[in-house]
Amino acid sequence: MAIAFVFPGQGAQRVGMGADFLATDPVFRDRLEEANDALGFDLASIVLDGPASRLVETEVTQPALLTVGVALWQVWRARGGAMPAVMAGHSLGEYTAFTAAGSIAFADAVRLVNARGRFMQEAVPVGEGAMAAILGLDDDVVAGCCEQVEGVAQPANLNAPGQVVISGSAPAVKAAAAACSEAGARRAVMLDVSAPFHSELMRPAADRFEAVLDAVNLRAPDVPVVHNLDASMSADAGTIKQKLLRQIDAPVRWTDCVTTIRDRGVDRLIECGPGNVLAGLVRRIDRSLDVVGIGTPGGMESGLESTASE
């Protein structure tokens, strides 16, 4: 059996994530302490104790999720877990994947996504941008509805067949969501987010982030990582940087990413992070793929046992 590791993005966070591992596993504890040192503030206390209002701040959420994801990956390996054939991550999770794959040093990655989150939040004043989830329409129909409206509205997350998130200026996204409803969407729901992620309105964030990313040393990953941008895989550090940079203001093509993973002979995915958001998406994409979450001690043991028995 070939396995893949997948890492969740923003929205999967919750106060207390990883607390059970922190109490018992020194590998997990070391990563949180290293993140604190890299950032210069007590990320661990926010992760464990909140408040939730602080954890959901984008510049905190992103390093928090990356830290927990990398810590869980290292616990997996320390306990004899199998190496995957391929890795991928949803949005922010792509950075976690490249860090777990050895392409980015952990301390550099924590600082990178802290800056990425801050730049993304500052790119558009709060209230001027919006995102909406569209359920029950084909991707091209959603794109056509976005093209009908004035202003910026575009597909941002192509999450699964019949599940697309659109992003852009608030009036345009509301108008596009209404157009999707008229076109037969099962649901068109405005999301409670702080910025229009993965839209062209994030271009100022990408411009600011470029110099920060250029200053970090990247190397070829030990395990292939699927890019959100185009579902390809790169071994060249310069190409990896360019695709990570372009990811900020381009759609996350998660359906294509999962298809690429499947086409490499993978039949089991390990969701390495809190919750099971990606498991739900994967099942909508291809129900033949098995997904195991290792964000809890019980899940970790189940994942280790299920892969060891193959």
Average pLDDT of the residues of the chain: 96
Token pair, residue 198, equals 């993965």
Taking residues 155-184, report their average pLDDT: 98
Confidence of residue 306 (pLDDT cuts 50, 70, 90): confident
- Cβ-in-10-Å burial (0-12, 13-18, 19+) of 83 comes to exposed
SS3 call for 156:
strand
% of the chain residues with pLDDT over 90: 95
Q: Which of 90, 91, 103, 199 is catalytic?
A: 91
pLDDT over 80 (residue 141)? yes
266 contacts 296 by C-beta, under 8 angstroms: no
Taking residues 155-163, report their average pLDDT: 98
271 contacts 294 by C-beta, under 8 angstroms: yes
Listed in sequence order, the DSSP H helices in 58-169 are: 58-78, 92-100, 106-123, 139-148
pLDDT for residue 1: 76
Q: What are phi and psi of 287, to 5 degrees?
A: -70, -10
Give the pairing type, strands 86-89 and 2-7. Answer: parallel
Asked if 53 is an active-site residue, the reply is: no
Asked if 198 is an active-site residue, the reply is: yes
In this predicted model, what pLDDT tens digit does every residue of 226-267 receive, in sequence order?
999 999 999 999 999 999 999 999 999 999 999 999 999 999
pLDDT over 70 (residue 36)? yes
Q: Which of 103, 169, 198, 234 is catalytic?
A: 198
In this predicted model, what pLDDT tens digit does every residue of 98-136 receive, in sequence order?
999 999 999 999 999 999 999 999 999 988 999 999 999
The CA distance from 128 to 182, in Å, is 24
pLDDT for residue 308: 80
233 contacts 225 by C-beta, under 8 angstroms: yes
The CA distance from 102 to 52, in Å, is 30
Taking residues 50-62, report their average pLDDT: 95
Distance of CA 74 to the CA centre of its chain: 18
Q: What are phi and psi of 2, to 5 degrees?
A: -95, 135
Token pair, residue 156, equals 């941002």
pLDDT for residue 309: 56
